[in-house]
């Protein structure tokens, strides 16, 4: 595909930060339109993943957008190329996996909410844990996944950063509405706690928890 080759070349030869951002946006724009799981799409996806390591936030944001647009086709390549020694690349990868919501990314999100030093990464993980897609899992897999998600969201609610607690509240709202009654009840209890001034110091988190509770009623 000549267009793909041209776009890949534009990324590789970008001489300035702005030109790299433009080239990445152009590649991201066509990635999801390529035949699903084709060699061309995989090539484009792998290039976008490499760009997560570039010292260029604008290009990384564009690459993440492209990966999210590719949905499940991007998940395994992201997991295969996850750079545990590059904090920036790992952070961007967590954001992509969180937005895609594929259960294969669950272990990465779980590790991020438990261990990552970056509040923005833990925030993305908390959001992602609330939006994991469960429909295609077996009953046993679904139960295990829901238990991991709830544990991660509970941890997010106790995070020292309010932005992570806020994301956990948003995650709990979505998770609770799409869960079995026992899990929904656990979500309600966590949301009730976050809505109380004696427990949650950040007014914006309390307000969001109250909105989530109203959505349940």
Helix, strand, coil fractions of the chain, as percent rounded to 5: 75, 0, 25
Whether residue 112 sits in one domain with residue 86: no
Give residue 178's pLDDT.
78
- pLDDT tens by residue, 118-167: 999 999 999 999 999 998 899 999 999 999 999 999 999 999 999 999 99
| pLDDT tens digits, 85-115 | 888 899 999 999 999 999 999 999 999 999 9
The predicted model gives 185-208 an average pLDDT of 96
Same domain, 15 and 77: yes
Number of domains the chain is built from: 2
20, 24, 62, 77 from 57: Cα distances, Å: 10, 11, 9, 21
Statement to judge: residues 135 and 170 lie in one domain: yes
Q: Is the pTM higher than 0.95? A: no
Q: Domain range holding 186? A: 101-217
Q: Which residues of 111-148 are buried (b: 16+ CB within 10 A; e: fewer)?
A: ebbeebebeebbbbbbbbbbbbebeeeeeeebeebbeb
What pLDDT, on a 0 to 100 scale, did the predictor assign at position 84? 77
Residue at which a domain ends, from 59, 74, 98 = 98
CB distance 78 to 97 below 8 Å: yes
Q: Render pLDDT for 40-90 as a digit per residue (tens, 0 to 9).
A: 999 999 999 999 998 899 999 999 999 999 999 999 999 999 877 888 899
Whole-number pLDDT of residue 189 = 95
Q: What is the pLDDT of residue 88?
A: 87
Q: Are residues 157 and 56 in the same domain?
A: no
| pLDDT computed for residue 1 by the predictor | 55
């Amino acid at each position: 595909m000549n267009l793909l080759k041209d776009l890949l070349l534009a990324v590789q030869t970008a001489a300035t930060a702005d030109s790299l951002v433009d080239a990445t946006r152009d590649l991201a724009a066509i990635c999801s339109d390529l035949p699903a799981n084709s060699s061309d799409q995989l090539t484009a996806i792998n290039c976008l993943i490499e760009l997560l390591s570039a010292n260029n936030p604008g290009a990384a944001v564009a690459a993440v957008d492209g990966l999210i647009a590719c949905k499940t086709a991007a998940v395994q390549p992201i997991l295969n190329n996850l750079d545990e020694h590059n904090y920036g690349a790992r952070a961007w990868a967590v954001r992509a996996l969180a937005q895609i919501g594929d259960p294969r990314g669950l272990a990465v999100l779980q590790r991020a909410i438990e261990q990552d030093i970056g509040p923005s990464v833990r925030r993305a993980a908390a959001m992602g844990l609330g939006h994991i897609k469960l429909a295609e899992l077996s009953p046993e897999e679904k139960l295990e996944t829901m238990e991991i998600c709830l544990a991660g969201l509970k941890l997010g609610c106790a995070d020292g950063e309010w932005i992570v607690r806020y994301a956990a509240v948003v995650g709990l709202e979505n998770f609770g509405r799409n869960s079995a009654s026992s899990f929904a009840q656990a979500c309600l209890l966590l949301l009730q706690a976050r809505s109380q001034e004696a427990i949650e110091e950040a007014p914006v988190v309390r307000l969001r928890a109250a909105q989530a509770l109203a959505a349940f009623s």
